[in-house]
């Protein structure tokens, strides 16, 4: 019988594991380094690779938008710190983009703990994304294969949508805020009894009692 390679990989809703890491900004302890704020941890297969370079450029260009959401960024790959430093120097000198977020130099311990290494892809990490909230809870996990670059706009959208969902106690439709059915509106929780269901069914912003929507800050 094959060993279960998933082991103790964390799941959505789990607390982010405490771990000390070496980074381009010096030693850090996670998740304490981002205490009280959201952060995105993302792995990339290797430094000095073209797809990863496009992703880092995109993350940095959107860093101000992540900052506006009080959300930090931290990258990771199984490369040494000096390789990270040389790579971000290359990005600065050749693409005129200064990478200002830290990058973890992992020896494989954290990557294995977080399920970032695909068993059929040697020791390189896949393109994993973890969105962690201000209470150090893992809220979303997104995995891409090495050959497919991520949409950084989607990561940003997910952080913003999760924060609004928490604050307003609503759900977010596909593609929010550009959903094909309800545009930038959000979905409200369905009623929990027959009376409430019949009342909602008559509402102008309801397809049915179980599918009602509203503008942010508006009423159903």
Q: Among all residues, which ones are annotated catalytic?
A: 52
The label of the residue with tokens 């959107």 reads: 62
SS3 category, 127: strand
The first and second tokens of residue 103, run together, are 């990058």
The first and second tokens of residue 50, run together, are 């073209």
Distance, in Å, from the CA atom of 60 to the CA atom of 89, rounded to the nearest integer, reads 14
Which of 119, 111, 142, 134 lies closest to 21 in space, CA to CA?
111
The label of the residue with tokens 């950084």 reads: 152
User: DSSP E strands: which ranges in 113-163?
Assistant: 127-132, 138-144
Distance, in Å, from the CA atom of 85 to the CA atom of 103, rounded to the nearest integer, reads 9
> Buried b vs exposed e over 103-115: b needs ≥16 C-beta within 10 Å?
bbbbeeebbbbbb
Distance, in Å, from the CA atom of 200 to the CA atom of 194, rounded to the nearest integer, reads 10
């Amino acid at each position: 019988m094959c060993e279960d390679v998933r082991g103790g990989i964390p799941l959505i809703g789990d607390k982010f594991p405490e771990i000390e890491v070496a980074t381009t900004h010096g030693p850090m302890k996670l998740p304490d380094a981002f205490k009280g704020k959201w952060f995105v941890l993302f792995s990339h297969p290797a430094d000095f690779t073209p797809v990863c370079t496009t992703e880092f450029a995109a993350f940095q260009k959107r860093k101000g938008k992540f900052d506006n959401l009080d959300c930090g960024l931290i990258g990771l790959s199984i490369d040494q710190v000096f390789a990270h430093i040389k790579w971000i120097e290359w990005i600065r000198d050749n693409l005129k983009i200064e990478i200002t977020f830290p990058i973890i130099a992992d020896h494989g311990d954290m990557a294995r703990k977080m399920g970032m290494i695909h068993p059929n892809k040697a020791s390189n990490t896949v393109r994993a994304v973890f969105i962690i909230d201000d209470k150090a809870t893992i809220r979303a996990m997104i995995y891409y294969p090495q050959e497919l670059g991520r949409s950084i706009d989607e990561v940003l959208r997910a952080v913003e949508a999760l924060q609004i969902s928490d604050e307003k106690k609503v759900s977010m439709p596909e593609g929010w805020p550009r959903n094909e059915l309800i545009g930038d509106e959000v979905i409200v929780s369905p009623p929990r009894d027959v009376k409430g269901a019949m009342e909602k069914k008559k509402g102008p912003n309801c397809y049915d009692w179980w599918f009602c929507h509203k503008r942010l800050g508006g009423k159903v």
